Each structure stands twice: as C-alpha cells, then as structure tokens.
Amino acid sequence: MTQPRKADEVALYSRLRALTRGEPFKGIGATAMIALWREIGIADNRAEYLLQKWTNKRWWDYGTWAKGGWFTPEAPQELSQ
C-alpha cells in the first residue's frame, strides 16, 4: 500500500519526468532543478527532502549532490495523490 502524496511532490515528479522524457539515467543539473522547484513553488528544504525520499526508495540517484541527478530504472513513470 502506498502513502498518499502531496500535490507538490506529484508536480515535481511529473515535471522532472517530462524533462527527462522518462528515461532512466538522463540527468538534470542542479541549476535547472532549483529553478524548476522554485517555479512550481516548492520551498528549498521541502524539495531537498523529496529528492532524499526518492533516493531512499531507489528512484533517484546522483553523483555528489542530490539536486543534480537522474531517475533510476526502478522509478515509477508517474505518481498519484
């Protein structure tokens, strides 16, 4: 059973999926990531929490900084509320 997700998490996930065209290992840079979550209206701490949450679920991976990363093959194509 999955937990309900907040609208901001669903919005960030779907926008990132659209930018990466759903392809695993197609990354997004930190500058673009920060601009994206600010455009959506997500606070920095909340966005960083979501990226860490996805990392813990093995949906998101990164080199040295979670703000610039990519989806893994295990990541679902979409999230729902």
Separation CA 21–CA 27 (nearest Å)? 10
Q: Where are the beta strands (DSSP E) in 10-49?
A: none
Contacts by residues 59-68 (CB-CB < 8 Å, ≥ 24 positions apart): 65/30, 67/30, 67/33, 67/34, 68/27, 68/28, 68/29, 68/30, 68/33
**What is the pLDDT, as a whole number, of residue 1?**
44
Q: What mean pLDDT do residues 63-67 have? A: 83
Give dist(CA 55, CA 22) in Å, integer.
16
pLDDT at position 4 is 66
Q: What is this structure's pTM?
A: 0.86
Digit-coded pLDDT (tens) for 4-60: 689 999 999 999 998 888 677 788 888 889 999 999 999 999 999 999 999 999 999
Predicted confidence at residue 49, as pLDDT, reads: 95
Q: Domain 7-71 belongs to what topology?
A: Arc Repressor Mutant, subunit A (1.10.10)
| In the chain, where the domains are located | 7-71
